[in-house]
């Protein structure tokens, strides 16, 4: 059972465009994290959101945690080629002993 | 402050041999997670350990796979009698605790079974 579904699975856009990636679940999470992974490397933690409705900004990236803490979105403004990579969301549930990772969104930004 | 260190980065084993993957967590981190990733796929949880204890090994195959995190030294993921299907990237992550602390990943070990 896949707890976290990400959409779209693949996304190819031109430099300068905006995009939104979604992470959805029917389960409630106590916190949710976003990671970016480049080829041949491990995932790098971008942000952790904890409170329902929380919005966090990291330069051109905006992360939002759904009010019910079941979903999250990542919005990138004016995408750059350096944003290319695999974006993964991961959720933590109270009482669970691992981070559940989403299916991933593979982003390609074309110069 | 060094990050999570995994070694080796690449490991080639013949079918039937043993593979030992090492992970040194970040300083001050006592929680270690191991994940497996196949090409073009997401991360699959294998095992969660704290110092000297296996907390959750629900994602790890019952046979041939084992993990440990001793009081001293790195965490070890051990795969006995490897088969071609074990070929994958294995990532270790460490954390100060569960939940909002987030996990910090190593660069992974790419295991190839020939």
Name the minimum distance, in Å, from the CA of B113 to any CA of chain A.
18
Name the minimum distance, in Å, from the CA of B69 to any CA of chain A.
16
Q: pLDDT per residue over A25-77, tens digit each?
A: 998 998 899 999 998 899 999 999 999 999 999 999 999 999 999 999 999 99
- Closest residue to A42, CB basis, from B42, B99, B107: B107
> What is the pLDDT, as a whole number, of residue B99?
65
pLDDT band at A18 (very low <50, low <70, confident <90, very high): very high
The residue with tokens 């299907």 is B85
Who has greater pLDDT, A3 or A79?
A: A79
- Closest residue to A45, CB basis, from B43, B55, B103: B103
Collect all residues of chain B within an 8 Å Cβ-Cβ radius of residue A104. 41-42
CA B72 – CA B51 distance, rounded (Å): 9
CA B86 – CA B93 distance, rounded (Å): 19
Who has greater pLDDT, A37 or B97?
A: A37
> A59 pairs with which residues across the strands?
none
**CB contact (8 A) between residue A90 and residue B103:** yes
| B42 touching A (Cβ < 8 Å) | yes
Mean pLDDT of B77-94: 97
pLDDT band at A7 (very low <50, low <70, confident <90, very high): very high
Tokens of A100: 């559940």
- What is the rounded (10 degree) CA torsion for B98, B104, B107, B112? 10
Say if residues A88 and A43 touch (Cβ distance below 8 Å).
Answer: yes
Q: Is the confidence at residue B32, as pLDDT, over 70?
A: yes
Q: Is the confidence at residue A19, as pLDDT, over 90?
A: yes
Residue B26 is classified by DSSP as: P
User: Minimum mean pLDDT among B28-32, B82-86, B105-109: which range?
Assistant: B28-32
| B91 touching A (Cβ < 8 Å) | yes
Q: Is the confidence at residue B52, as pLDDT, over 80?
A: yes
Q: Which residues of B88-106 are buried (b: 16+ CB within 10 A; e: fewer)?
A: bbbbbbbbeebbebbbbbb
pLDDT band at A11 (very low <50, low <70, confident <90, very high): very high
**CB contact (8 A) between residue A45 and residue B98:** no
pLDDT band at B97 (very low <50, low <70, confident <90, very high): confident
Say if residues B23 and B74 touch (Cβ distance below 8 Å).
Answer: yes
User: What is the phi/psi pair of residue A48, to 5°?
Assistant: -125, 130
> What is the pLDDT, as a whole number, of residue A2?
58
| A22 touching B (Cβ < 8 Å) | no
């Amino acid at each position: 059972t896949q707890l976290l579904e990400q959409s779209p699975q693949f996304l190819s856009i031109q430099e300068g465009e905006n995009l939104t990636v979604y992470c959805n679940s029917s389960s409630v999470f106590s916190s949710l994290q976003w990671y970016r992974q480049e080829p041949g490397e491990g995932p790098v933690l971008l942000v952790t959101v904890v409170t329902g409705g929380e919005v966090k900004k990291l330069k051109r990236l905006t992360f939002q945690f759904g009010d019910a803490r079941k979903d999250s979105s990542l919005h990138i403004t004016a995408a750059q080629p350096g944003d290319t990579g695999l974006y993964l969301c991961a959720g933590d549930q109270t009482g669970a002993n691992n981070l559940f990772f989403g299916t991933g969104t593979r982003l390609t930004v074309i110069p | 402050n060094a990050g999570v260190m995994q070694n080796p980065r690449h490991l080639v084993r013949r079918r039937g041999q043993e593979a030992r993957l090492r992970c040194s967590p970040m300083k001050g981190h006592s929680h270690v997670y191991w994940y497996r990733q196949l090409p073009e796929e997401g991360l699959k949880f294998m095992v969660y350990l704290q110092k000297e204890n296996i907390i959750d090994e629900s994602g790890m195959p019952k046979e041939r796979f084992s993990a440990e995190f001793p009081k001293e030294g790195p965490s070890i993921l051990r795969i006995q009698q490897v088969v071609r299907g074990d070929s994958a990237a294995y990532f270790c992550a460490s954390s100060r605790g569960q939940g909002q602390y987030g996990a910090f990943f190593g660069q992974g070990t790419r295991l190839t079974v020939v």
